[in-house]
Copies of this chain bind each other. A is one copy, B any other.
Amino acid sequence: MPEISLRRARSIIRKTLEAGRERDLKPLSVVVLDTGGHVKAFEREDGAAPGRFAIAEGKAYGAVMLGMSGTAQMQRAEAQAYFMAAVNGAYQGKVIPVPGGVLVRDAKGAIVGAVGVTGDTSDNDLAAAIAGIEGTGLTADG
């Protein structure tokens, strides 16, 4: 399975934060996970609340573990709330099923990791994540 490099993870984070500054969003926190759901890189902007790591990780973790974007998880949660609650139990409460958890795919469509962004509204978090991933030449599945 292809795997995201640190160089690319770093690039995604920088471009996501730049997208946040251009859009005048609140301070963002951005995590990049590998295909096993393990942290590759993370940054939290000055002024962001201290607990943002767990929220960013939770958005990306659900995406990679279920193979399903945060937007798709939210739709499932809205249709069948107890199902996503139960999934979260099975994953020890690590899943945050809202937009901003984004699968990262390479040119062939293979999943190479996931990005989680938090700090502004979920929709703005998602827009920044997509800008960061696409700015690095990868495909965002948000």
Interface residues of A (CB under 8 A from B): 1-3, 5-6, 9-10, 34-46, 48-51, 53-55, 57-58, 64-68, 77-78, 80-98
Contact = CB atoms under 8 A, between A and B. Distances in A.
A86 to B, nearest CB: 5
Given A41-B44, A86-B95, A89-B92, 15 more contacts: A1-B2, A36-B37, A38-B51, A41-B41, A41-B43, A49-B65, A54-B90, A55-B90, A57-B90, A58-B86, A81-B81, A85-B85, A87-B96, A89-B93, A90-B96
B90 A86 contact: no
10 contacts: A1-B3, A5-B46, A6-B43, A6-B45, A38-B53, A40-B43, A41-B42, A81-B81, A81-B82, A82-B84
